[in-house]
Amino acid sequence: MAAEGGHRGGMVAVLPGLYVGGAESCSSPEALAAAGVVAVLTVDAEEAPLPAAAPGVRALQVRARDEPGADLLSRLDDCAAFIGAARAAGGAALVRCPAGVSRSATVVTAYLMKSEGLRWEEAYAAVKAAKVNPGFEGQLKLYEAMGCAVDTSSALYKRYRLQMVTERYPELQDLPREVFAVDPTSICQTSNMEVLYRCRKCRRALFRSSSILSHTEGSGPTAFAHKRITDSTQLHHHGRDKCTSYFIEPVQWMEPVLLGVMEGQLLCPKCTSKLGSFSWRGEQCSCGRWVTPAFQIHKSRVDEVKTLSVCDFQAAKT
């Protein structure tokens, strides 16, 4: 795959039928027509309408600022489909942002990864003059790790979404609904492949295995050297699981506790026994790994139910 060179009215050709450009790239309807552009994708925080003299050109706008905390990842599949549809119909697509080097370059890089099977570094190198901010670079790496498809059910995406929340909602007063997993007591059907976790004391259903956000095991006792741990039970696990807690995504029953505070205890919503703790700033797992944000349930406070069937949750309802 070789990128085409050349400019057309502020547009830089990346592939046949794919251009990237800045704010001025749409200033000439004649240039758009000459390039065969039938679709314009704009990535900007502000409304950026197309010129009135560009009839028949389809438009899509993605609202995003050029800052590391802005979310483009969740829209990359939509953008790729929009670009792909224009090229499949024999036309060209233009992806633009104010400067033409960061937001638009991120979208085009993601499209090349998805359509051409390139690694993110290869795709990024093919977009000339790209200067993507570190946040967007991290999102491209995550997109690659998910197989160039946004999988909202994956632990990778859930952790990313939580990190976005901590940056965008500093007061934590209005958390988006999608960050919360469904309370297992509010549904009566689940996959037979899933495990249900219940409060050991009162048997109230708390979360499912799909809510567990696994992390790479830390370095063990050396990670706690600054705490001068001398307790042999913390230094030596004797073959047991080094992670003594489950780190999970927030579940609906946690919402009243999480709003407006940075950290606190997690109590069973039925019997109020202590289950664990949470911190939007992060907490250290017993294995030594730092997890941010952290919603930690101690394994000793819950039991697993490995076989689930339709309406098996009814007995665990509050």
Which positions are annotated as active-site residues?
Answer: 97
* Contact yes or no for 277/283 (Cβ under 8 A): yes
Distance (Å, whole) CA 101 – CA 28 = 20
* Contact yes or no for 316/198 (Cβ under 8 A): yes
- Residue 84 half-sphere exposure toward CB, CA atoms < 13 A: 13
Q: How far is CA 238 from CA 33, 53, 241, 289, in A?
A: 71, 74, 9, 19
- Residue 141 half-sphere exposure toward CB, CA atoms < 13 A: 8
- Residue 231 half-sphere exposure toward CB, CA atoms < 13 A: 6
Tell me the Ramachandran region of residue 220: left when phi exceeds 0, alpha when psi lies from -120 to 50, beta otherwise.
left
* Radius of gyration of the chain, Cα coordinates, nearest whole angstrom: 24
**3-state DSSP assignment of residue 12:** strand
Distance (Å, whole) CA 47 – CA 61 = 8
Tokens at 248, concatenated: 């999970």
* Contact yes or no for 172/258 (Cβ under 8 A): yes
